[in-house]
Structure 1
Amino acid sequence: MSFQPTPTDIPVTITTPSTVSTSDEPRLLSERRITPSWTVLQTKRKLETMTGIPPSSQRLFLKTPGRSDQWVDGDDTTIGEYGLMRGCEIEVHDTRPQTARVNLSDLSSVEKYVLPTETYENLPNSVLAWKKNQKLGRFDPNALSPAEAMLEQARKDKMEVETRDISVSRRAIILPSTPPHVRRGTIRFVGPVPTIPYPGIDAETADYSVSLPIWVGIELDEPIGKNDGSVGGKRYFACPNKTGVFIKPEKVEVGDFPPLGLDDEPDEDMEEI
């Protein structure tokens, strides 16, 4: 019995044509090593994993450099009989009607899986389970409720206002501030801002008869703010648009901070870069 060498595999480009020339339908473009001794049916079975087209619905169109393009017919013939060589391209055509084809790029018809809340809460290796074990967040027995946390924040804000001597009409800068990026302006408002939601508190059902966190409304010297003194549809002070900003008391420093004019002398530190 004479020795028969194994046929050398040939790298072939595999493509799937778009059904419409102007369509945005994805077009497969890949490379596959084809053994010339495979039958056409074997080749189709190998290509099914790449194209998703059943072998019975495939029709292969072979493009060979220097030769005429040709259809590959006859499932029992070998693919090598058609002159397979390096640089060839096999175009895989789907003979099924358009309505019978599965559109893998259309996700609108795919039902999104949503893990039930009860199932997630019972998972032993979830982030929620880790928080429970570490007693973090709402699982901390000493953690304050949202309402209690809001009252505690209001108490801290009031203390900051008194300690920092924050009051309306005082000049102030917003912390942190480092030259030349210093935001300075005039305090126009000090007090609760119910239209700014507090984490964990429903704005529609919140009890505003209790103490609320305090905000400091500042009219900036330059239009680098976020509003015109109103937030959430309610006005707390008036200023030009983009010059108003609401800041927490601990981010405000009161002092002698005159407005910068165009004729002001620059700081010595700013004369050199």
Structure 2
Amino acid sequence: MAVQLCLFAPSMQICTDRSFPREIVLDVLQAKLERITGIPPSAQRLALYAFADIQDGQQTGDAAPVPFPLETPLSSAQDGMLLKILDSRGSAASLNDADVEKYTMSDEAYASRRDTVRAFKQAHHLGQFAPGVARPTVPDNIQVGARCIVSRGDASEDFARRGTIHFVGTTQFAPGAWVGIVYDEPVGKNDGSVQGTRYFDAAPKHGGFVRPALVTVGDFSPALAHEEI
């Protein structure tokens, strides 16, 4: 049985959703991660997090890593978790191109071209376009306007954040499906915009984006400051 994870390699500026068999052994997993990130297995330092929240290319939140068995690291992983791949070689191994002027192209313009890797994969039904490959899905009850709680990876509602869903879909800052939340309290990371693109409106520190797996929809009353001790 496969598990869908968010891979995050900060040194290589990579954030992508990938699916792996739960029973995959460590050396096979590291070989696959090398092909995705370019980080050799000997330099990989892996950490698994229940709360996958990436904003502006940075991991947010203060959740601690989830322990995992060394031989089969994904045997207890759940869909939507974040697998962080650190490079023990340090900053010298990463690409330092901050001073290089970059050429950018909109996703719409890129999609219209026929000489790209994406076009080749589409034409030959490879990668994410292969038959049977799961596309990012969102449960039907996760809809704009619904009340919800957002889990931090703890089963207790006491450690969840309450809010209202204001966005459901894909974004420009990271692949896969995301849910945009306006929190009742200032526990978010933004105001509904990320990297200059606005997805919804929220007061400062009241907006945030999380994976659908962390969202529970229900008739949750607004969080009030006097409820806290």
User: Structure 1-normalised TM-score?
Assistant: 0.35
Considering only CA atoms, is the larger Rg found in Structure 1 or Structure 2?
A: 1
Q: Which has the higher strand share?
A: 2
Structure with more contact order per residue of length (Cα contacts < 8 Å, sep ≥ 6): 2
User: Structure 2-normalised TM-score?
Assistant: 0.41
